[in-house]
Structure 1
Amino acid sequence: MSLRSALLLAGVVLAALNLRPAIAGVSPLLDEIMRDVGLSPAAGGAITTVMVVCLGVFGPVTPLLARRLGLDRTLFAGLLVIAAGVVLRGLGGVPMLYLGSALAATAIAVMNVSMPAIVKQHFPTRVNLLTGVYVAAVVGGAASASALVIPLEHGTGFGWRGVSALLAVPALLAALIWLPQAARKQQEVQSGPRPFGQVLRSRVTWYVTALMGLQSLTFYVMLAWLPTIFIEAGLPADQAGYLLSLTNLVQVVTSLAVPVLAGRRPSQVPYVVGAGVLTVFGYLGMLLAPTTVPWFWMIVLGIGQGASFALALLIIALRPADPTAVTALSAVAQSVGYVVAALGPLAFGFLRQVSGGWSVPLLAGLAVVVVQLGAGWLAGRPATLG
């Protein structure tokens, strides 16, 4: 492997590692943040909600930026804006907290949409392998942030503001590694609305969008509520936290392996359906026997969720014929998908409140996964978009 190829691969991995810490790093520090700036629980929870909404709302600007700047420079700019956002949210009171969070999430939205197209552009013969690598890095970044922010806070004595600023370091490091690529002459990108027009008229787009949105909804519901479900079932709080970490770590391995296998076949239907079935079993375990081998249910759920996320992004990269169309499909699928996902934790909490338990929310989650299975069946069939 040449030095340029090694730097390109390292840049992709490091950029992907920065796509979740700004979001996942909020939850462990949330109690301290609320006390420090005087937020209610609802206002504290709104920090994550605002960021997930930004993932959906600002994704569609990516094709415009890619036409103006090129994909590589768009990714470079996104890394710098993430660094600015995580620093900004620790500099003042409530307005800076929300503004910095929204700024970082906007950059993540643009990078989310860019990554499948960058993989298609730079690694056209290894889309399945590189999709697995970068998705594993995304999931690994989320798991690392959740696990390390508290030890970092205790080890440095910086408090939540300093720890938030430290999240800028990996973003700046990734930008430094990506700088030679951004400085190169950018590949010409087609102009005009044709790629978006093609994508919006295709049924494949809406199958992929449904798969992306529904699997994202399941992920964010579990991220928000899984420890609480186990605590209310009778498990200690620390064990409930370990179970969330376990299911996230399992997703790292699954995200790396599944695209390599699924990308070799013209149809991804068996893999998408298998991932959905495993997610159903994870839900059933939490519903029927949450305190009986909970670690087993979390492994099953992690395999299902990790595979579903990786397959959704793999299909986005495989279906279009060129990077321009990949960017357009990615913008539609991820923008709509994350708006749908942002509603999940709120709806889950509302169902818990009105029903007085977790049976109704978990049954609703099962229904969502069943619909996801249908969308995955349609999205996973062989097709070429554009």
Structure 2
Amino acid sequence: MSLRSALLVAGFVLAALNLRPAIAGISPLLDEIMKDVGLTPAGGGGITTVMVVCLGVFGPIAPLLARRIGLDRTLLAGLLVLAAGVVLRGLDGVPTLYAGSAIAAVAIAVMNVAMPGITKQYFPDRVNLMTGVYSSAIVGGAATASALVIPIEHATGYGWRGVSALMAVPALLAALLWLPQALRGQAGPQNGPRPFGVVLRSRVTWYVTALMRLQSLTFYVMLAWLPTIFHDAGLPADQGGYLLSVTNLVQVGATLAVPILAGRRPSQVPFVMGAGLMTVAGYLGMLLAPVAAPWLWMVVLGIGQGASFALALLLIALRAPDPASVTALSSVAQSVGYAVAALGPVLFGLLRQVSGGWTVPLLAGLGALGAQLLAGWFAGRPATVGKAYR
């Protein structure tokens, strides 16, 4: 592998590793943040809510930037803005806490949308492999941040502000590695057809979007409530946290392996359906026998959710013919997906409050998974945006 190719792959992977730590690293520090700046629990939860909402609202900026300055420079700008946001978040004052979080999330939203287009542009013959690599990097980055922020805080003695600022270091390193691609990329506005019109008129777009938003919803519901579900079922509180860690770690392997296999086939329906059914099995285990085999349910759930996430990203790259169209499809699918996902944990909690237990919320989650399977059936069939099914 040449030095240029090595820098390309290294910058690509490290950029993907930066797409979740700024969000996932907040939860372990949240109690300390609330005490330090005087936030209520609602105010503390609002930090993550603001970030997830920004992921949905600001994704459409990415195709506009890519058309103006190119995908390479769009990704570079996202990394630099992310670094600025996490540093700002650690400065004194509640306004900077929320503003920095929002700025970091806007940068992540842009990079989320750009990554499938980057995959299509630089790895057109290895879309399945590189989708697996970068989706597993996303999941691995989230798991690593959740696990390491507290040990890093204790080791350095910096406190939550210093740890937040340290998150700028990997973003800046990724920007440095990606700089050669940005310097070689197209500098001026790009001419040619605008893909949004074709993308928005295609049925394929809405099948892929439905799959993305439903798998995001069922994932964020579990991310928010899984430890509480097991605790209410009679398991110790710390064991609920360990179970969440297990399912997140299992997702890393699933996100790497499944796209590599699925991308070799003309139809991804068997893989999408299999991933959805494994997620259903995890939900059913928690509903019917949460304490009988909780570790088994979490392994099954992790495989299903990790595979579903990676397959949704793979379909974005496979279902559009060129990088500009992939970026437009990614913008639609991911913006709607995260906007819907932000509501999932709130609605799940409301159902728990109204019903007095977890049976009704988990049944609602199974209903969402049924819709996910239906969307996956159509999204997984071989098709291209703007063309009929073969």
2:275 maps to 1:275: yes
Q: How does 1:111-190 map to 2 (within 5 A)?
A: 111-186=111-186, 190=190
Q: Distance in 2 between matches of 1:8 and 1:358?
A: 46
Deviation, structure 1 residue 222: 1.1
Q: In the superposition, relative to structure 1, how do residues 222 and 193 fare at CA in structure 2: closer, same or farther (>3 Å)?
A: farther
Q: Distance in 2 between matches of 1:202 and 1:237?
A: 47
Count of residues in correspondence between the two structures: 386
2:197 maps to 1:197: yes
Task: Give the aligned residue type for 1:124.
Answer: P
Deviations 1:196-241 (A, max 9, x none): 0000000000000000000011111111111111112121222111
Deviation, structure 1 residue 189: 7.2
Q: Distance in 1 between matches of 2:315 and 2:188?
A: 24
Q: Is the 8 A contact 2:352 2:360 kept in 1?
A: yes
Deviation, structure 1 residue 117: 0.3
Aligned match of 1:266: 266
Q: Distance in 1 between matches of 2:254 and 2:284?
A: 20
Deviations 1:58-108 (A, max 9, x none): 000111100111101110110111111111111022111111000000000
Name the stretch that deviates more: 284-293 or 261-270: 284-293
Deviation, structure 1 residue 192: 6.4
Name the % identity. 80
Deviations 1:260-285 (A, max 9, x none): 00000111000000000000000011
* Cα RMSD, aligned residues only: 1.2
Q: Is the 8 A contact 1:153 1:159 kept in 2?
A: yes
Q: Is the 8 A contact 2:262 2:268 kept in 1?
A: yes
Q: Is the 8 A contact 1:189 1:324 kept in 2?
A: no
Deviation, structure 1 residue 185: 3.5
Aligned match of 2:230: 230
Q: In the superposition, relative to structure 1, how do residues 266 and 190 fare at CA in structure 2: closer, same or farther (>3 Å)?
A: farther
Task: Give the aligned residue type for 1:309.
Answer: F
Q: Distance in 1 between matches of 2:270 and 2:182?
A: 38
Q: Residue 124 of structure 2 aligns to a residue in which SS?
A: coil
Aligned match of 1:304: 304
Q: Is the 8 A contact 1:72 1:181 kept in 2?
A: yes
Q: Is the 8 A contact 2:86 2:167 kept in 1?
A: yes
Q: Is the 8 A contact 1:204 1:379 kept in 2?
A: yes
Aligned match of 1:363: 363
2:217 maps to 1:217: yes
TM-score, length basis structure 1: 0.98
Deviations 1:305-354 (A, max 9, x none): 00000000000000111000001000000001110110001111111111
Q: Distance in 1 between matches of 2:374 and 2:136?
A: 25
Aligned match of 1:245: 245
Q: Is the 8 A contact 1:211 1:375 kept in 2?
A: yes
Q: Distance in 2 between matches of 1:295 and 1:153?
A: 29
Name the stretch that deviates more: 223-232 or 272-281: 223-232
Deviations 1:83-136 (A, max 9, x none): 111111110221111110000000000000000000000011000000000000
Q: Distance in 2 between matches of 1:381 and 1:178?
A: 34
Name the stretch that deviates more: 30-39 or 140-149: 30-39
Q: Is the 8 A contact 2:83 2:171 kept in 1?
A: yes
Q: Distance in 2 between matches of 1:346 and 1:46?
A: 12
Deviation, structure 1 residue 191: 3.7
Q: Distance in 2 between matches of 1:118 and 1:255?
A: 18
2:41 maps to 1:41: yes
Structure 1 segments unaligned to the other structure (5+ residues): none
Aligned match of 1:330: 330
2:93 maps to 1:93: yes
Q: Is the 8 A contact 1:119 1:131 kept in 2?
A: yes
Task: Give the aligned residue type for 2:338.
Answer: Y
TM-score, length basis structure 2: 0.97
Q: In the superposition, relative to structure 1, how do residues 340 and 104 fare at CA in structure 2: closer, same or farther (>3 Å)?
A: same
Q: Residue 381 of structure 2 aligns to a residue in which SS?
A: coil
Q: Is the 8 A contact 2:116 2:317 kept in 1?
A: yes
Deviation, structure 1 residue 32: 1.0
2:63 maps to 1:60: no
Deviation, structure 1 residue 187: 8.0
Structure 2 segments unaligned to the other structure (5+ residues): none
Q: Is the 8 A contact 2:316 2:330 kept in 1?
A: yes
Q: Is the 8 A contact 2:14 2:170 kept in 1?
A: yes
Q: Distance in 1 between matches of 2:59 and 2:78?
A: 12
Q: Distance in 2 between matches of 1:191 and 1:60?
A: 19
Name the stretch that deviates more: 173-182 or 188-197: 188-197
